[in-house]
Homo-oligomer: A and B are copies of this chain.
């Protein structure tokens, strides 16, 4: 995915009402922008909430996106109580990936970054264990080992936040991080922390979901990527996928099969977030995949 510097994205959320698409598309046309993709969704045509994502090409976008935003805000957004955001596709989002000891999700993200399929930059990897450091090194990504214990949790989070600030991070990915982050941390990064949970949520919330799945005797297992909120494993779901299993599979087998699902689901969710395809409302997501 090479992205021209002309490619822009506009995300919009507002109360539904007639004429929004007409107004937005007219505005972009008058600015000289050519719409190349457009997706919209309304929760209810009468009194619901309306969501729009537009990709457009506009010469010299990088230089003029500030003016464009200002003009849009005044002409379109304010009168219609819109929340909106312009982004420049060529400015890839910068990610911090948090890991513990399990490496499969981290490796998938690193590879997909290198192959160009992720559409984002992994700016830094943060871990409470040193184990994944050697893995990360060949990719040229900084690795920060920040120990977390019950006593040092507050300090550790302060260090983490400092790293995120220093590296100009846009979003945090918990790639099997196995630690609960604090409410403060979550609030600071609202709708920008993506976690992979190794079950088909809302089944098997909490610890050891593969053991739970084995115990229950399910015939399909899954993984779920979601934004982190204060309620454990209960935030807005971005993506899920599943795989068939049967009575022959031990808990170890479920973990092995699950690793493939986790990798795929997390990479997909991160790519969508990076490309501004995910809009959160209430405890759900609109995904313009």
A residues sitting closer than 8 Å to B (CB atoms) are 18-19, 21-22, 25-26, 28-29, 32-42, 45, 57, 104, 107, 111, 115, 117, 134, 138, 200-204, 216-220, 222, 236-242, 246-248, 256, 259-260, 264, 283-287, 289
- Cα separation A256 to B32 with both chains bound (whole Å): 32
From B29, B34, B104, B219, A240 is in contact (CB under 8 Å) with B219
Which secondary structure dominates where chain A touches chain B? Answer: mixed
Contacts of A216 in B (CB 8 A): 201-202, 237, 283-284
Complex: chain B residue closest to A247, CB-CB: B286
Contacts of A222 in B (CB 8 A): 220
Q: Known A-B contacts: A220-B222, A247-B284. Give 14 more (CB < 8 A).
A: A22-B22, A22-B25, A39-B39, A45-B57, A104-B111, A115-B259, A200-B200, A201-B216, A202-B218, A216-B283, A217-B237, A217-B284, A220-B240, A246-B289
From B219, B259, B283, B285, A247 is in contact (CB under 8 Å) with B285
Contacts of A29 in B (CB 8 A): 18-19, 22
Contacts of A35 in B (CB 8 A): 18, 21, 40
Contact B111 A115 (CB under 8 A): no
Contact A28 B36 (CB under 8 A): no
Contacts of A236 in B (CB 8 A): 217
- Cα separation A216 to B283 with both chains bound (whole Å): 7
Which 5 pairs show the lowest CB-CB distances between chains A and B? A217-B284, A22-B25, A203-B203, A21-B25, A22-B29
A89 to chain B: closest CB distance in Å? 13
- Cα separation A3 to B183 with both chains bound (whole Å): 44
Contact B40 A38 (CB under 8 A): yes
Contacts of A201 in B (CB 8 A): 203, 216, 218
- Cα separation A32 to B104 with both chains bound (whole Å): 40
A201 to chain B: closest CB distance in Å? 7
Contact A242 B264 (CB under 8 A): no
Contacts of A247 in B (CB 8 A): 41, 284-287
